[in-house]
Amino acid sequence: MFAVTATQIDADNPLNGLTLGERPEPEAPDGWTTVTVRAAALNHHDLWSLKGVGLPAERLPMILGCDAAGVDEDGNEVIVHSVIGDPDRGGGDETLDPKRSLLSEVHQGTLAEKVAVPRRNLVPKPAELSFEEAACLPTAWLTAYRMLFDKAGLQPGASVLVQGAGGGVATAAIALASAAGYRVYATSRSEAKRKRAGELGADAAFEPGARLPERVDAVIETVGQATWSHSLKSLRPGGRIVVAGATSGQAPPAELNRVFFLQLSVVGSTMGTRAQLERLARFLAKTGTRPLIDRTLPLSRAREGFAAMAEGDLFGKIVFTP
């Protein structure tokens, strides 16, 4: 089968390790099944893998990709939940399993014509969603869903700031928060991306560091060091930052005085459960909200998509179709 594979690690030039070509079809062990992939989405996780983050050289070659939608062995249209973990070991939450991984870290990933996954990792695809739209959900959209509706503790009518409009999690958070009726503010260095954030549902979009019309109830933070101080200053007393990434750096000044004096909360969030993925899919089907797709490419042109992500030349998701 045709697949997109990491064959070497290169932290400085990650695309050097990208190989497109034939790979053996997956074999499904007991409790697993195979899915014929109809669409697969690209994530920053795939670029980080090529840099060796979470993917040591001894596990190569590794088919990349966390996200997919397709057809299972019984002909059902499904979405693949990419967290490989045991809910029992995580106290009912597979994302808290100390041994959990994502597809393409230990087990071969989704950027291929077929992928093998545990049977419990399959979620029914609503008929209202296309395969391309459904493929966007398991990583970026699920992460945003959990951040907003689980970790942030927001009530109806709440206000939220989304840092770094343009990234997959950020665009998902803007769209989901708007659909839920929150007041949504966003930031981006790019005027074009600020405009697109407004089209997605943001009430207003600003340059990074700008003063907001109000202090918000929660901040969706995936940028890290470059926006951390602004995130803290933008919160109302008792507000909450939910962190699911640090693309600009992981070690900003903590500003602990502000944290304790204003009784702010800092909460980490990673991915989401299978049950949350199923609820997310139903939420989109019910509300009409849809993932913003920057471009759809055949899997044979995956290198173009990886290059666009590496250069930041995208707004929304890049989707591949085998």
Q: Please state the rounded mean pLDDT for residues 219-223.
A: 96
**In this structure, how many other beta carbons lie within 10 angstroms of the beta carbon of residue 234?**
25
Mean pLDDT value of segment 208-214:
97
Identify the band that residue 103 occupies on the pLDDT scale cut at 50, 70 and 90.
very high
Which of the four CATH numbers 3.40.50.300, 3.90.180.10, 3.30.420.40, 2.60.40.10 does domain 2-136+291-321 have? 3.90.180.10
State the average pLDDT over residues 217-246: 96
Res. 312 pLDDT band, cuts 50 70 90: confident
pLDDT of residue 313: 82
Residue 310, pLDDT above cutoff 90: yes
| Cβ neighbours around 62 below 10 Å, total | 23
Q: What is the pLDDT of residue 317?
A: 93
List C-alpha distances in Å: 163 to 168, 188, 246: 12, 7, 11
pLDDT of the residue at 262: 98
Please report, for the chain, the start and end positions of each structural domain, with discontinuous segments joined by +.
2-136+291-321, 141-268
The mean per-residue pLDDT over the stretch 147-172 comes to 94
Is 100 in contact with 90 (CB distance < 8 Å)?
yes
Residue 166 has pLDDT above 90, yes or no: no
Is the pLDDT confidence value at 237 over 90?
yes
> Is-same-fold flag (2-136+291-321; 141-268)?
no
- Average pLDDT (135-140) is 97
Residue 28 pLDDT greater than 90, yes or no: yes
Select from 3.30.750.80, 3.30.70.260, 3.40.50.720, 1.10.3720.10 the CATH code of 141-268.
Answer: 3.40.50.720
Strand positions, DSSP E, the chain: 2-6, 18-22, 32-41, 62-63, 69-72, 77-80, 83-84, 101-102, 114-118, 122-124, 159-162, 183-187, 204-206, 216-221, 235-243, 265-268, 293-298, 317-321
pLDDT at 45: 94
CA angle in degrees (0–180, nearest 5) for 296-300-304: 60
In sequence order, what are the beta bridge partners of 80?
122
Q: Give dist(CA 207, CA 142) in Å, integer.
A: 26
Q: What percent of the chain has pLDDT over 70?
A: 100
Per DSSP, what are the bridge partners of residue 210? none
SS percent in the chain: helix, strand, coil, step 5? 30, 25, 40
Write out the two tokens for 45: 């996780």
247: pLDDT strictly greater than 90: no
The secondary structure of 94-146 as a DSSP string is GGG-TT-EETTTSS--SSBSEEEEEGGGEEEPPTTS-HHHHHTIIIIIHHHHH
Q: Across residues 284-292, what is the average pLDDT?
A: 96
Give the pLDDT score at 198: 96
**Can you tell me the mean pLDDT for 113-117?**
98
Q: Average pLDDT of 123-131?
A: 98
pLDDT value for 90? 94
pLDDT at 314: 85
* Distance in angstroms (rounded) separating the CA atoms of residues 14 and 3: 17
The model's pTM is 0.96
pLDDT greater than 90 at residue 167:
no
Whether the predicted pLDDT of 127 surpasses 90 = yes
The chain-wide mean pLDDT, for the chain, equals: 96
